[in-house]
Structure 1
Amino acid sequence: MGLIIFIITGLIIIMSIYYGIRSLRRNIPGREISDVPRIEGLPVNSSTTDASGIIDLLWCGIWDFFWYDPWGFIIMGGFYKDLYLFTSKLMEMVKLNIPVSMAMEQILKEGIGPAIFLRYSPLKRPLKRVMRYVQSGMSLAGAMKKESIFFPAFYINLIDIGEKEENLLGSLEVLDSYLKAKKDYISYYIQTAGQIIITTVMTLAITPFLVTYILPTFVELFEGMDLILPLPTKILVSIIKVLRNPILVGPIYLLILTIIILLIFMRSGRLRDKFDWVLLKIPFIGGIIKNSEYITFCHVMRGLLKSWMSIDRALLLASGASTNFLYNVTLAGASRRIEGNLTETLRKTRLFDETFLFMVSLGEKTENLSEVFKEMAKYYETNYTMKIKSSFQLLEVILTFLIGTAVGGIIISIFMPMSLIITEIGNSIFR
């Protein structure tokens, strides 16, 4: 029971620290929300979160923790599904020349969010407040700036540009493509990793119960009998004693908790740049991260260039869409010193491989860069899907092997002495 209480308490502490750091990181001076580079004339984080906003933030935090990726290792969290559905519906209504305030009112009446929670999206209340600001005469970007804790700075910046240049539809099309890719990643992860997640959760749930109640009974039984225990049983008895001894296992749990907190801090805090740099250097994981960044970059650049935006400004905005701090900062810096063509500028960042740069150079030579980025996004999405699928298949095999080995070891450790006991009883009866 103590182990279960420790695990629950640890999870509560981890959740509190994670969302606390995320909230504080939004208010670091000189940074946009989600570390998007500052663009002159664009909104900054100046949200006025009242009691209602705090309640929404807590609700969004709980929703984010259980529905989306809570740790930020895969998709960096966020309400991509809900935000995509809202953006997609808003884009359709703007195409019909429906005023933004009226379009938002209609969308919120319908409800947004995943199908089973259609009317209970955590973004619904913040969007209602945004709608009231818009109805009072404020711009959509200005209204979202007041609720900026719920919306990425990249999203607000593009909405602001679209309104200033009277091309809101173009900005919504870029956001729709970007959020659709993010939404598809979430769905694909859930479908691909579903079995692994269920297996892992069940293992973590059953293990404390076995260690606390079931296995100690066998340990006491074996120790109470004058038997020479087999080696597997001796190992099992030693492990159970260690796991049930708070003096011995306490430091282990504390070390695990410290590592988790450190990882969360590195993902959400000031060590994020170093952490992202290390991830990019890991052979297989680094390739997957680069592939994901290529897809995001191609989707955003394609939409921005299609809207006739200049390359330097498009590159700066595309850097804000990046979820990797190294790409975020490097691309933002590159946008301020574009020399010659885009290919050479990207080559100097050392973030893109030669295949990527070759395809970009073809787009520049044919003066059809927007369509080339579209085809590149399709290519890298296919490649990304294959990598993720193969990695999860490998992980599933490894996890199945480890769990099978552990379960088989426990069964052997229990039944070997049981067979000795049965043999001794049989010999005493027929002696």
Structure 2
Amino acid sequence: MRIAKQQIFTTQLVTLLEAGVPLVPALQMIREPLTNKKDMPHWLDPIIEGLHQGQSFSSCLRKSKENFDAFYCGLVEIGEFSGQLNHLLLKISQDLKKSEMIQGQLKKALTYPLCVLFISFCLLIAMLIWVIPSFEQVFAGFNASLPPLTDFLLKLSRFVKEYFFLGVLIFIAVFAFIFFLWWRFIPIQKQVDRFFLRVPVIGNLIHHALLARWATTIFILQESGTPLLKSIRISARCSNHWFVHDVSVEVYRLLTQGQAVHESVFLADSKQLLFKRETLQLLKVGEDSGGLVKMLQYLAIFHERQLTEQLDVLMEMIEPALVVIMGLMVGGMVVALYLPLFKLGEIA
């Protein structure tokens, strides 16, 4: 939601600046339609006040409660000093639009199956608590042993009915404890980020998304005239993934010692969790030929395209997989419930 809000704000600001409206009046025009009363506080007020006091736009953005990242503020700062603020804000808007699109695709790919599985799980629990016990009363009059599958389903129903609320409380407590550990301790966050990079399918999607973002950030900064070292440092500061942050910091350190870019990346990610051999080769070719900026642009486009294609394939695979899972779950319960009826003569 933060990216979407910043993207809308940036697009509005670029439109007004390109129309010839000065910065402060443009911000005031953006602020006014967003509140019914002009005297109500708004997040743009401190920025407008700071500009009136002679502060730079980039420094005001860094202090804003909207959490503009280092990439956004860095490009704005470059635009202020170079006189290309409109041009760089347009690049920021395009980058935010891409980031929002990628996040939207990831959420769409993950939200749909999770929602279906959650609904299926709720229906399963409801059947175990309210539907299965009625069949148990019918089977009690058979005066014979039930098939193993039916017996297991009845025992599961009794267990869920007796310990359901306790299980929910334990699940909430465990989830809250894990979330607290993750939120409180950075080493755990780093381990979680590394773990998801190793998970099949999901890790591959994360890999393409992270590399696309990393390459796009450095490409835009380099194209705008930012030195490579500063671009690497900004990419580390604006990353929301600990592994990318740590790798970028290590690459920055190695570059200051005179290492080449591809060598620094290889040493920083020696296990190739993020930067695979093909990526390292492309970085080397770009660096040796003097076309590192164009190679970064190519890497960004390539990984964005790979991410989109794999998300499309994943969505096509998820639907039949969910149908199979739900079919097995429902079919298994139906077979378990009606198997004793099919063998009624044998049981009697």
What TM-score, normalized by structure 2, do the two folds share? 0.80
Mapping of 1:326-405 within 5 angstroms? 326-338=243-255, 339-350=258-269, 351-405=274-328
| Residues 1:177 and 1:196: Cα distance change in structure 2 (over 3 Å) | same
Residue by residue, what CA displacement relative to the aligned partner does 1:227-269 show, whole Å, maximum 9, x if unpaired?
Answer: 54332221111111111122x8736852574156415643674
Given that residues 159 and 168 in structure 1 are in contact (C-alpha distance below 8 angstroms), is that contact kept between their aligned partners in structure 2? yes
Q: Which amino acid aligns with 1:390?
A: V
Contact 1:105–1:131 (CA<8 Å) still a contact in 2?
A: no
One-letter amino acid of the counterpart of residue 275, structure 2: F
Which residue type is aligned with residue 105 of structure 1?
Q
Matched, 1:106 2:29: yes
TM-score, structure 1 as length reference: 0.66
Cα deviation per residue 1:118-173 (whole Å; 9 max; x = unaligned)?
x99xxx97544345435644543343344336444543444345445554335424
Name the residue aligned to 1:94: 17
Q: Which residue of 2 aligns with 1:266?
A: 182
| Cα displacement (A) at 1:93 | 2.8
| Inter-partner Cα distance in structure 2 for 1:157 and 1:265 | 32
The Cα of 1:294 is off from its aligned counterpart by 1.2
- Correspondence for 2:99: 182
Matched, 1:254 2:173: no
Two-structure CA RMSD over aligned residues (Å): 3.5
Q: Distance in 1 between matches of 2:68 and 2:122?
A: 35
Q: Deviation at 1:402?
A: 2.4
The aligned length equals 336
Within 5 Å, give how 1:28-427 maps onto structure 2.
Answer: 79-108=2-31, 127-130=43-46, 132-134=48-50, 136-137=52-53, 138-148=55-65, 150-163=67-80, 166-169=83-86, 171-193=88-110, 195-223=112-140, 226-246=143-163, 250=166, 254=170, 257-259=173-175, 261-262=177-178, 265-266=181-182, 269-270=185-186, 271-338=188-255, 339-350=258-269, 351-418=274-341
The CA deviation at 1:296 is: 0.5
Deviation at 1:283, TM superposition (A): 4.8
Contact 1:177/1:300 (CA < 8 Å) preserved in 2? no
2:225 aligns to what SS in structure 1? coil
Tell me, what secondary structure is at the counterpart of 1:289?
A: helix
Contact 1:126 1:150 in 2 (8 A): no
Unpaired runs of 5+ residues, structure 2, are none
In the TM superposition, residue 328 of structure 1 has moved relative to its aligned partner by 0.4
Please report how far the alpha carbon of residue 372 of structure 1 lies from its aligned counterpart in structure 2 after TM superposition.
2.6
1:311 touches 1:342 (CA, 8 Å); kept in 2? Answer: no
User: 126-135 or 320-329: which moved more?
Assistant: 126-135
* Deviation larger for 277-286 or 379-388: 277-286
| Counterpart contact for 2:43–2:65, Cα < 8 Å | no
Shift in Å at residue 310 of structure 1? 0.6
Aligned partner of 1:4 in structure 2 is none
More helix by share: 2
CA separation in 2, counterparts of 1:284 and 1:391? 9
Contact 2:128 2:161 in 1 (8 A): yes
- AA in 2 matched with 1:219: E
Distance 2:181 2:66 in 1: 19
The superposition leaves residues 16-68 of structure 1 with CA deviations (integer Å, 9 ceiling, x where unpaired) of xxxxxxxxxxxxxxxxxxxxxxxxxxxxxxxxxxxxxxxxxxxxxxxxxxxxx
Check 1:327–1:195 CA distance in 2 against 1; reply closer, same or farther (3 A cut). Answer: closer
Change (3 A) 1:175 1:269: farther
Q: Bigger shift: 85-94 or 394-403?
A: 394-403
Q: How far did residue 183 of structure 1 move?
A: 0.8
1:264 and 1:174 map into 2 onto residues whose CA distance is 37
Query: What percentage of residue pairs aligned between the two structures are identical?
Result: 17
Question: Could you say if the C-alpha distance between residues 403 and 287 of structure 1 is closer, same or farther in structure 2, counting changes exceeding 3 Å?
Answer: same
How far has the Cα of 1:302 moved from its partner? 1.3
Contact 2:51 2:60 in 1 (8 A): no
Query: In structure 2, how many angstroms separate the alpha carbons of the residues matched to 1:83 and 1:315?
Result: 23
Cα distance between partner residues in 2 of 1:251 and 1:198: 20
What is the deviation of 1:295?
Answer: 0.3
